Chain A
Amino acid sequence: MKISRRQLLILLPAAAVAWESVMAGTPEDAPNYKMTGHWWGMLVDIDKCIGCGNCVRACQTENDVPDGYFRTWVERYHVSDENMTEPEVISPDGGKEGFPVAQQDDKKYFFVPKLCNHCADSPCTQVCPVGATFISPDGVVLVDQTYCLGCAYCVQACPYGCRYIHPEKKVADKCTLCYHRITKGLTTACCEACPTGARQLADLKNPNDPIHAFLKTHSVQVLKPQMATGAKVFYNDLDGSVR
């Protein structure tokens, strides 16, 4: 077969479009969801968190997280104005039932909700020896629990302590950013249950997502930026004492 230059020029873009749709794929049961069209992250506004524990309870309900294990949890920091390197941090039962009443003293208090940072260059996926944990094309760090050996390399590799070995399944478990919800157009369980809007799901590939306006006008930070993990959970008004 001989293809003229004109025919080739017509065929190439068509082939590119076809290849794109082959590569994009769609998770089952979400026919309108294109993985290449999204890049998920989250915005956490420290100023708005009241430490009620709604997110922790919602996450455990939505994802059947066993008692004593956490895909998300809330920490309460108590920091003196002079010694930023030694904050008092508490997280009783992950903040699930709230926190003890605090009395005002000369130190400052604030809450820090934590969850998987869904890093773009995640250390946990790099160490998996069998390809059981991975970053999905839409930027969510997931675990294939039928493939996981339970070796816990990833649990050690995560600098944020966001993974655990499931006590019954004996495989790695972690926040999925409620992948079964976000692919259906819902927000995550923790964001749905947060009464103050301290947590907001963000689609960084969607130009109309309010995250872009927020990032442009606020000083946001990620946890442990020095580790260059490409963390996608952005914290507004994050204190320097947070580790």
Chain B
Amino acid sequence: MSVFKDAGHLFRFAGLFVLAFLIFLVVRHYVVPKSFGQYGHYRGDAIGEIARRPVKYAGHETCEGCHSDQADKKKAGKHAHVNCEACHGALAGHADDPSTVTPVLPDTAVLCAQCHRASAAKPKGFPQVDPANHYPGPPCGSCHQPHSPGMDAPKAATGGVK
């Protein structure tokens, strides 16, 4: 039995090891968030938290719900595929509370040039003007209707005949 003469040391050490492991399990239980590992090696609840962030751009469907007159005008013209908030800015606040949050009408003298200022870098088919030579002075809106920017009546109104 001389082999196990001092075995007590080993058992005490093993006991400490088991105790430490149990403490580790208890601590881990309280420290690791409940949803960790729900979908993978991350906190599953984080997905819901990110999904709950507030929306600032209402989306054109929301705008069209009230402003169908403007939406119809836009559909007939060249800006049919330009969403409302591309020019008017983020307006979810206005959609939530139309009476207190009122949008500022964009200044066409600044707004239009953001897209239409002529530059050799832009795609060739895209309509461009040099604001310094194309009727400088009056804002674009004095001749062009931003919702249907052609100079003539929109095609839908005349059946394609000018």
Contacts and interface: CB of A to CB of B under 8 A. Distances in A.
A192 interface: yes
Given A186-B55, A195-B86, A25 B126 contact: no
B122 A30 contact: no
Given A50-B122, A99-B119, A186-B59, 4 more contacts: A27-B52, A131-B41, A147-B46, A187-B59
B120 A102 contact: yes
B72 to A, nearest CB: 19
B59 A136 contact: no
Contact of B119 (A101, A132, A189, A195): A101
A146 B82 contact: no
B77 interface: no
Interface stretch (B6-14, B110-118, B134-142): B110-118
A50 B86 contact: no
B67 interface: no
Contact of A131 (B42, B51, B117, B126): B42
Interface in A134-153: 134-137, 142, 144, 146-147
16 contacts: A25-B38, A27-B52, A28-B48, A30-B51, A51-B121, A61-B89, A76-B121, A109-B122, A134-B46, A137-B39, A146-B43, A146-B46, A176-B50, A195-B87, A196-B81, A197-B81
Contact of B54 (A105, A146, A180): A180
Interface stretch (A52-60, A114-122, A213-221): A52-60
A232 B120 CA distance: 30
B40 A134 contact: yes
Nearest to A55: B86
Interface residues of A, number: 58
Nearest to A137: B39
A33 B47 CA distance: 12
B144 interface: no
Interface in B73-127: 81-83, 85-87, 89-90, 114-115, 117-123, 126
Interface of A: 23, 25, 27-30, 33, 35, 47-54, 58, 61-63, 76, 78, 98-99, 101-105, 109-111, 131-137, 142, 144, 146-147, 176, 179-181, 183-184, 186-187, 189, 192-197
* Chain A contact residues, majority secondary structure: loop
Interface of B: 36, 38-44, 46-57, 59-60, 81-83, 85-87, 89-90, 114-115, 117-123, 126
Contacts of A49: 123
A45 to B, nearest CB: 10
A78 B123 CA distance: 13
A180 B81 contact: no
B86 A192 contact: yes
B90 A62 contact: yes
A179 B47 CA distance: 9
Given A61-B89, A99-B121, A102-B121, A144 B51 contact: no
Nearest to A148: B46
Given A111-B121, A195-B86, A134 B59 contact: no
A99 B59 CA distance: 26
A201 to B, nearest CB: 12
